[in-house]
Amino acid sequence: MGTREASFLLGISRQRLLVLLAQGRVKGVEKQGRFWKIPVKEH
């Protein structure tokens, strides 16, 4: 999932999510080129 959808689901701004990603504070993410791949955990 992309940053826009993930930030919406988390209830935070896209910019805040980008900061957290850059700081390495989000588990399981992968950066491919200029894109972040954020895993979706299904329960």
pLDDT tens figures, 9-38: 999 999 999 999 999 999 999 999 999 999
Residue 35, CB half-sphere, CA atoms under 13 Å: how many? Answer: 7
Q: Which two tokens stand for residue 24?
A: 């390495």
CA dist 18 and 22 (Å) reads 6
The yes-or-no verdict on residue 43 having pLDDT over 60 is no
Q: In whole angstroms, give the CA distance from residue 13 to residue 33.
A: 22
Which 8-state DSSP code applies to residue 37? E
pTM for the structure as a whole? 0.81
